[in-house]
Amino acid sequence: MTDFIFGHYVYWSIIALLIIGLYGMIFKNNLAKKLIGMTIFQVSIIMFYVASAVKWSATVPVLDPVTGVVDAAKYISPLQHCLMLTAIVVGVATSGVAFSLAIVIYRHYKTLDESVLMERMKSS
């Protein structure tokens, strides 16, 4: 039981982070807060990938040039790190796009609140 809890508490905290992000996306009316929730959601996904690559009794995926590959099980899987490396930078760029769209919405309708925004979109 203790082994189970110590092996899974990271997943549960990542799920808590994901639920916080989803809460921000669903319940908040302000578009900027929705974007913050989306970023938290994204970070939780990245953390899940990195947590799935952890292996005790193994080392980082940088080869020791003296010994070479003796045992492939002594290195953690480099695939998840590679995927998330690009995902972080692309996430920053796409959140920049999202914030620029929010800025344009604010300039045009002079509000970021969703309910007010819907009314102004209908009336105009």
Partner 1 sequence: MRKHKYNPIILMVSRVVSPFIMIFGLYVIFHGHYSPGGGFQGGTLLAAALLLIRLAAGFDIAQIQFKRILGTPLGSIGVLIYFGTGFLAMISGGEFLNYGFLPFAGFTEAGLRALGILMVEIGVGLAVMAILVAIYDDLLEGYPHD
Partner 2 sequence: MKIVNWLLLISFGALLIYASLGLPNRGDGDAVMHREKSPAGSWGASSYYIRNAYRDAETLNMVTVILADYRGYDTLGEETVILTAGLICYLVLRKRRTNRDDKKPLKAGADAQT
Would you count residue 88 as binding partner 2 (CB under 8 A)? no
Residue 120's φ and ψ, nearest 5 degrees, are -70, -30
Q: Which does 18 bind (CB under 5 to 8 A by kind): partner 2, partner 1, none?
A: partner 2
Q: Cα–Cα distance between 99 and 34 in angstroms, integer?
A: 11
1 binds partner 2, rule: CB under 8 A: no
Alpha carbon 1 to its chain's center: 29
Residue type at 54? V
Q: Contacts with partner 1 in 33-92 (CB under 8 A)?
A: 60, 62, 85-86, 88-89, 92
Query: Which spans of this chain sit near partner 1 (rule: CB under 8 A)?
Result: 60, 62, 85-86, 88-89, 92-93, 96, 99-100, 103, 107
